Amino acid sequence: MSPMFNFDAEFRLGIDLVDREHSQLVDMLNHTYELLSAGRRAEARRYFEEALTDYIAVHFADEEAFLEEIGYPHLEEHRRIHEQFKQNFATLKPRIASEDDAAFRQALNDAFTWLLVHIGKADRRYARFYAGQQKES
């Protein structure tokens, strides 16, 4: 079973800690997908609701600490976007909990899309700020 998505160079922001964590999140979504495809739905559900959900919180906290460290001027806005993301993510639960594999798969697809849109837009915005800062110093 091939993964849904390979962490492409396009999503690399050039900040090691952040790139490692983003790549880990993509791997975890792929892993959930693989468990589901292998017919291990209960395990996939637990993995999604526990390991993956916890890791998202860890990543957001690490990222916000980094943004604070570099004095990112849009930190508060980014925090709000993370909060909204977690809330959206929580709305996937009923579909993950359903007996319907297609609904589960669709929820994973949505999670992928949200994650990639977040990295590609909001996270890329602070990466540009950081790159500019590095150039000046």
Report the interface residues with Fe ion, using CB under 5 A.
63, 123
Q: Do the beta carbons of residue 110 and residue 93 sit within 8 Å?
A: no
Tokens, residue 28? 């975890």
Nearer to Fe ion, 41 or 118 (CB): 118
The CB-of-45 to Fe ion minimum distance in angstroms stands at: 24
- Considering only CA atoms, which of 97, 96, 92 is closest in space to residue 110? 92
Report the residue closest to Fe ion, judged by CB: 123
- Which residue, 70 or 103, is less far from Fe ion as judged by CB? 70
> Minimum CB separation from Fe ion for residue 60, in Å?
6
State the minimum distance, in angstroms, from the CB of residue 38 to Fe ion: 28
- The residue (of 44 and 52) whose beta carbon lies closer to Fe ion is 52
DSSP class of 8: -
Contact 80, 66 (CB under 8 A): no
